[in-house]
């Protein structure tokens, strides 16, 4: 990350050079981990119980609203309000206009309730694509985090979606702000930075690409592959978002505190802000040259360490996940449920912090 770090520092100017602790947080989730392979096929074939009941029982009832899809209300021309499903209603030109407004206005919701951002408040920036099911659970976890009411929660979207907006705007436990990545595939479906018809196929040979004269033919990546818009979007969005938070927002002008970067499929522990503050103060004395901290990592990386003890931990967690899965009944929530709601696993995961 050293290139990234210096880029951020350079662009930020004084405030961030002095303080800049950026927290790359990968606060766990196995959502992306595919290791939940069920060896016992009878588990897979068991009858499903009511998935929503199982989840709802583990979430305080005041937070159920974040897990429940809300109908979209539209006002009919005769004045009656009717519920309709969310579906795309704006065309690209209109979406561009709407997001330009959002990005210009920089509205901070709930500021009236929670007060203005302090210079040392935690800013939590969530990169959002289109996985609203995961986002619902992240929001539930954030709602339960200690001291969340002091934080500013920022959502950076690369898709304009009414249902996601409605969910984000229903957050009532802290200050909330949204902005939209303007160079998204949604807004450039047939051209760079989306997928252009003349883009080179990912796996084409360089010589063939040169003959074909497809876009960027002379420059495959390190591994000989060509650009895939959906993956580059994620990375471009990440940097755009970081620059926006550090350099461009009015609300962050005087901010010198921590910035936490999360993604829609992450999940935070109740004490993550507390732990963050501990890490910050420890960092000042033990590692003054550090300006990136990591609160967690994907478990998948544990296996790379090659440490037999950690492998053992991993194996236990895996077995436990399968056990819990057997009790919970399989469904998409399987990948989420055992990891999100089992405390024993949370404890096991918190093992070593890694800094890049």
Enumerate the known binding-site residues for Mn(2+). 265
Q: Are the C-beta atoms of 267 and 141 separated by less than 8 Å? A: yes
Write the CB contacts of 356 (distance below 8 Å, at least 6 apart in sequence).
Answer: 1, 24, 292, 294
Distance CA 42, CA 326 (A): 9
Q: How far is the CB of 195 from ligand NAG (least distance, A)?
A: 19
Can you say which residues are annotated as belonging to the binding site?
Answer: 127-131, 158, 233-237, 265
Nearer to ligand NAG, 135 or 251 (CB): 251
Q: How far is the CB of 264 from ligand NAG (least distance, A)?
A: 20
Write the CB contacts of 31 (distance below 8 Å, at least 6 apart in sequence).
Answer: 134, 265, 266, 267, 335, 336, 339
Can you say which residues are annotated as belonging to the binding site for substrate?
Answer: 127-131, 158, 233-237
Residues forming contacts to ligand NAG in the complex (CB under 6 A) are 50, 52-53, 70, 72-73, 76, 78, 80, 91, 93-94, 119, 166, 250-251, 253-254, 256
Write the CB contacts of 270 (distance below 8 Å, at least 6 apart in sequence).
Answer: 141, 144, 145, 146
Alpha-carbon dihedral sign for residues 166, 167, 168, 170: positive
Nearer to ligand NAG, 112 or 207 (CB): 112
Q: How far is the CB of 209 from ligand NAG (least distance, A)?
A: 32
Q: How far is the CB of 161 from ligand NAG (least distance, A)?
A: 13
Please state whether beta strands 72-75 and 123-128 pair in parallel, antiparallel, or not at all (unpaired): unpaired
Residue among 261, 269, 199 nearest 227 (CA):
199
Nearer to ligand NAG, 69 or 224 (CB): 69
Nearer to ligand NAG, 109 or 237 (CB): 109
- Helices first, then strands: H and E counts in the chain: 15, 9
Nearer to ligand NAG, 76 or 235 (CB): 76
Q: How far is the CB of 334 from ligand NAG (least distance, A)?
A: 16
Q: How far is the CB of 139 from ligand NAG (least distance, A)?
A: 15
Please state whether beta strands 81-84 and 72-75 pair in parallel, antiparallel, or not at all (unpaired): antiparallel
Nearer to ligand NAG, 226 or 341 (CB): 341
């Amino acid at each position: 990350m050293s290139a990234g770090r210096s880029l951020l520092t350079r662009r930020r100017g004084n405030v961030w050079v002095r303080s800049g602790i950026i927290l790359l947080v990968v606060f766990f989730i196995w959502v992306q981990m595919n290791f939940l392979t069920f060896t016992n096929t009878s588990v897979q074939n068991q009858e499903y119980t009511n998935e929503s009941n199982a989840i709802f029982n583990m979430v305080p009832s005041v937070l159920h609203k974040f897990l429940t899809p809300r109908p979209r209300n539209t006002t009919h021309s005769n004045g009656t309000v009717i519920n309709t499903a969310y579906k795309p209603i704006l065309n690209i030109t209109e979406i561009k206009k709407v997001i330009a407004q959002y990005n210009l206005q920089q509205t901070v919701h709930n500021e009236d309730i929670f007060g203005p951002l302090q210079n040392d408040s935690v800013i939590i920036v969530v990169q959002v694509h289109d996985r609203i099911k995961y986002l619902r659970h992240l929001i539930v976890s954030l709602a339960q985090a200690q001291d969340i009411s002091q934080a500013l929660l920022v959502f950076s979207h690369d898709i304009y979606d009414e249902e996601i907006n409605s969910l984000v705007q229903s957050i009532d436990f802290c200050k909330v702000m949204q902005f939209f990545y303007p160079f998204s595939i949604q807004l450039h479906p047939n051209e760079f930075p989306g997928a252009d018809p003349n883009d080179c196929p990912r796996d084409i040979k360089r010589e063939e690409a040169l003959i074909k004269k497809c876009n960027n033919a002379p420059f495959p990546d390190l591994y000989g592959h060509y650009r895939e818009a959906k993956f580059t979007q994620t990375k471009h969005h990440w940097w755009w978002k970081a620059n926006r938070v550090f350099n461009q927002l009015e609300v962050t002008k005087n901010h010198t505190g921590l910035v936490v970067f999360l993604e829609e499929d992450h999940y935070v522990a109740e004490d993550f802000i507390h732990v963050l503050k501990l890490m910050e103060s420890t960092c000042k004395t033990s590692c003054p040259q550090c300006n990136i901290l990591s609160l967690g990592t994907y478990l998948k990386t544990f296996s790379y360490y090659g440490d037999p003890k950690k492998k053992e931990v991993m194996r236990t967690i895996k077995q436990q996940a399968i056990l819990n899965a057997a009790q919970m009944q399989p469904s998409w929530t399987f990948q989420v449920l055992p990891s999100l709601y089992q405390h024993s696993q949370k404890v096991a995961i918190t093992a070593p912090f890694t800094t890049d």
